[in-house]
Chain A
Amino acid sequence: MLKKLYPDKILSLNNRWTVILSILMILIIFVGLIYALFISPPDYIQGDSVRIMYVHVPSSFISLGCFAFIGIASIFSLIFKIKFTPLIAKSLAPIGTVFTLVSIVTGSLWGKPTWGVWWVWDARLTSMVILFCFYIAYILTWKFINDFNKANKISSIIGIVGMFNLPVIKYSVDWWHTLHQPSSITLTSAPTIHYTMLIPLIIMLFGLIIYSLIIFLMKYKTEIMKFKLEKKK
């Protein structure tokens, strides 16, 4: 599996793959949006604002997932000095940043009609802002430090330390009283979300994951090319 991510494999990756994935993504998101916006029912108390969830939850999922991968890649690049793991992490960072922002903004839009406020500093929302700061710090390290090895070291430390924030985000709603509601979908018990709403949520999640994958592959390929050019100089 990891071998598929070797630089030479990625460089020889045909553009056809991107096209196939893009078509698949457009189809899935099209179906997902139709389902989410028209077929799925409104919620019994939130009404139509429940539809914001179909973008909000997948975005949050991807933003946490991306950082988890960045953290793991950071550990690998610190211990084993593998040249391509920092490139993987570096390519994932912008995707995660954008989805964190989408998650925060959509959450805020949902919060106003539901809670009555745009923003509160409860544990879940605050830890999400901290995640955003870690993403920004990670990206800026690569931008401002020109020496590859030095940038790799510092950004890896940011990636590893930031990983500790992930369980805090995930379990903040269980550990402390928060305004944000606990998870509706857990591994241990049945989802507390009706299946007519769960289906579009899962379709949207798949669509946005494929979207992230496309952006990742494109970015990763560019990073490898840049890295090889640097080396030749």
Chain B
Amino acid sequence: MLSKKVKLKIFYLIFLLFCISIFIFLILKSLEDNIVYFFSPTEIYNKPTISLNKKIRLGGLVKEGSTQKKDSSINFIITDLKNEIIVSYNGLLPNLFAEGKGVIAEGQLTDKKYFIAEKILAKHDENYMPPEVKKAIENSN
């Protein structure tokens, strides 16, 4: 049905695609630490060597009831529900910053428990709903 030439080409192409996918996989795997946009508190805890005074990004949820505002500076806790890190920040917060919501802080660790942020980004999750529905869910809880 298929001529010999075409068959040979198909095999060659499959082989090539296989090689490329392995190649790409290895590249992505070795670059993983650079590809991830932020680390969670647990990942920072589990790192054998943490680099203090180096710019990194920390991400997680803002712990409910943990925000303390004083003038323009704010302290809050970023949690991934297993581990927590205290973040202190001085500056403007994004509008969508809220307790219980996702957040990413860019800055430096001073030790494993304390983080000084230079920039705060609000992370939006994949849930979309009208305000009334949100209210209804809260009421039923």
Q: Which A35-56 residues have C-beta < 8 A from chain B?
A: 41-46, 50, 53
Kindly identify, within residues 74 to 89 of chain B, every residue whose CB is under 8 Å from any CB belonging to chain A: none
Q: With A116-B121, A181-B123 given, is the CB distance from A43 to B36 under 8 Å?
A: no
Taking a contact as CB atoms under 8 Å apart, the answer to whether B95 and A113 are in contact is yes
CA distance A10 to B101 in the complex (A): 53
Our pick among A75, A123, A178, A194 for the contact of B133 (Cβ within 8 Å) is: A194
Contact (Cβ within 8 A) B131 A179: no
Tell me, in angstroms, the Cα distance from A192 to B124 when the chains sit together. 13
> Known contacts A78-B13, A193-B128, A194-B133: does B96 contact A46 (CB below 8 Å)?
yes
Size of B's binding interface in residues, CB under 8 A: 38
Which residues of chain B come closer than 8 Å to A182, judged between CB atoms?
A: 125-126
Given A43-B129, A113-B95, A115-B94, the answer on whether A179 and B101 have CB atoms closer than 8 Å is: no
| A179 and B128 in contact, given A45-B98, A45-B101, A79-B9 (Cβ under 8 angstroms) | no
Task: Mark interface residues in B32-68 (1 if CB within 8 Å of A CB, else 0).
Answer: 1001111110000000000000000001000000000
Q: List 30 A-B contacts (CB under 8 A).
A: A41-B132, A42-B131, A43-B130, A44-B129, A44-B134, A45-B96, A46-B96, A46-B124, A53-B128, A75-B13, A78-B13, A115-B94, A115-B121, A116-B95, A123-B35, A123-B37, A168-B24, A176-B35, A176-B37, A177-B59, A179-B37, A179-B38, A179-B123, A181-B125, A184-B126, A184-B127, A184-B128, A192-B126, A192-B127, A193-B129
